[in-house]
Amino acid sequence: MKKKSGRPQKLGDLIQRELSDLVQRELRDPRVGMITLTSVDVSPDLSHAKVFYTTLDPAHVEEAARGLKRAAGFLRSQLAKRIKLYTTPELRFVYDESVERGDRLSRLIDAALKPRK
Instruction: List, in sequence order, every residue forming a beta bridge with 57; answer none if it has no partner.
Output: none
The CATH number linked to 55 is 3.30.300.20
In a domain, 95, yes or no: yes
Could you list the residue range(s) of the whole structural domain that residue 87 is in?
6-113
Amino acid at site 55: T
In a domain, 1, yes or no: no
Residue 85 predicted with pLDDT over 50: yes
Structural domains of the chain, count: 1
In a domain, 88, yes or no: yes
Q: Is 36 helix (H, G, I), strand (E, B) or coil?
A: strand
Q: What is the pLDDT of residue 56?
A: 83
pLDDT digits (tens, 9 = 90+) for 93-109: 999 887 777 777 778 88
Residue 10 predicted with pLDDT over 60: yes
Residue 111 predicted with pLDDT over 70: yes
In a domain, 87, yes or no: yes
All residues at 6 or more sequence positions from 18 whose CB lies less than 8 Å from its CB, including other chains:
79, 82, 83
Smallest Cα–Cα separation from 68: which of 100, 90, 94, 39? 94
Contact 39, 12 (CB under 8 A): yes
Residue 52 predicted with pLDDT over 70: yes
CA distance 11 to 32: 24
The model carries a pTM of: 0.81
